[in-house]
Amino acid sequence: MADSRLENFYRSEFVALNVEFKQLVTVWQLTGATPDRLYSFLDSAMPMFERLASLQPELRDYGIRFERATSRVLQGDTAWLTGVFVDSAHSVWFELHTALLDALGFSRLDVDASNDE
């Protein structure tokens, strides 16, 4: 059975940030304009990673990896946002989302379907 604190965290914090991150990546892919949005996103995301680590210490590495990737983006190496040959922010975020779903016993198909309603 999933930890109710983790499920509350997922629903109250992660889901909204997930929508925001997907929008940030979409804007980047369409326009190349990201840094200002990324700074703003990090103001919310990094504290979320800290709260997650206190709930699920085994997931702590995702915050470290995400911070490393976004730091490189902000230094001008945009491959670290969505690149597939590096440990990009997008790859880390996707892996984190999968880990959360697994920990909660949710399937990605069910979550995606509920987001379409």
Local confidence pLDDT in tens for the 117 residues of the chain:
458 999 999 999 999 999 999 999 998 888 887 667 899 999 999 999 999 999 999 999 999 999 999 999 999 998 999 999 999 999 999 999 999 999 999 987 666 645 543
Distance CA 83, CA 91 (A): 8
Question: Which pLDDT score, from 0 to 100, does residue 117 have?
Answer: 38
Q: Is 117 helix (H, G, I), strand (E, B) or coil?
A: coil
Question: Which pLDDT score, from 0 to 100, does residue 3 have?
Answer: 82
For 57-62, the CB contacts below 8 A with 24+ separation are 59/96, 59/99, 59/100, 59/103, 62/92, 62/95, 62/96, 62/99
Question: Which pLDDT score, from 0 to 100, does residue 2 have?
Answer: 59
105 phi, psi to nearest 5 deg: 75, 25
Contact 104, 2 (CB under 8 A): yes
Contact 79, 91 (CB under 8 A): no
Instruction: Give the number of domains in the chain.
Output: 1
Distance CA 33, CA 89 (A): 16
Intra-chain end-to-end CA distance of the chain, in Å: 26
Q: Residue 92: which domain range?
A: 4-115
Task: Calculate helix-pair angle for 15-31, 35-55, nearest 10 degrees.
Answer: 150
